Amino acid sequence: MEFKNWFGKQDTEVDEAEIDRLYDKAHISVELVREYKPELLNNVSTIANLASGAYGLYNSGENKKVLPTNAKFIFDQKHIDPKTIDLLPKSVIKQQFPEIDEKQIKESDTIHVNISRIVKESKTDLDAVLQIASTIVHECTHEMEREETGQTSEVGPQRAEREFMNWAKQNIKRIQDKHPELKGQEDGLQRISVN
């Protein structure tokens, strides 16, 4: 594989092993998010399980940022503890240090999806796959909003979920052709909730 192609694929590589172990069709959900809007996964390094509670969780405290070596020197000069960099949104870093090229800041965040709850509440595999995917879209939208604006609310993520579900409904035949194990399960499609 050419380096350019390999490097391009690295931007959207996500460790989803934990959710794949819990549900054998979770990988389909991640594939659908990649197909829908691959940029949603650009800053996400890991999709992990959420053992209880909500359908999903984005915790900005789990952020990791990789900065060029010279950036650490700049941060030290301005008396900012490099350990706190992970908590700062990219927009704040850019405001404080305009000399840093934003493209050099690589986020590596984790989102959590409550696989057990979603599978338990779903009537079919199609329902589960789409609910997991829409939860990933929701949590990734939180991550993107926080990095771009320094804050997030439920408005954008809920809208993103609805848009994803509309896309999925419009593309259901193609999705099922690609994943035949999801065929014949459309009757539950209308029950899928947006959380």
The arithmetic mean of pLDDT across residues 56-65, rounded, is 74
Higher pLDDT, residue 191 or 99: 99
Residue pLDDT, tens place only, 139-177: 999 988 988 887 889 999 999 999 999 999 999 999 999
Residues 144 and 176 in one domain: yes
What ranges in the chain are assigned the alpha helix state H? Answer: 3-10, 17-22, 26-36, 69-77, 90-96, 115-121, 125-149, 155-170, 172-178
Residues 154 and 74 in one domain: no
**Measured over all CA atoms, what is the biggest interatomic distance in the chain, rounded to whole angstroms?**
62
Using the predicted structure, report yes or no on whether residue 124 has a pLDDT greater than 80.
Answer: yes
Query: What is the per-residue pLDDT for 158?
Result: 96
Residues 142 and 178 in one domain: yes
Residues 52 and 77 in one domain: no
Residues 34 and 82 in one domain: no
Residues 132 and 184 in one domain: yes
Residues 69 and 96 in one domain: yes
Residues 54 and 80 in one domain: no
What is the reported pTM?
0.78
- Structural domain for 77, as ranges: 65-107
Residues 125 and 187 in one domain: yes
User: What pairs with residue 57 in β-bridges?
Assistant: 112
Query: What is the per-residue pLDDT for 4?
Result: 35
Residues 120 and 180 in one domain: yes
183/45 Cα distance (integer angstroms):
30
Query: What is the per-residue pLDDT for 125?
Result: 94
Percent of all residues in the chain with a pLDDT value above 70, rounded to a whole number: 69
Residues 88 and 116 in one domain: no
Residues 170 and 156 in one domain: yes
Query: What is the per-residue pLDDT for 61?
Result: 65
**H or E, element range at 88:** none
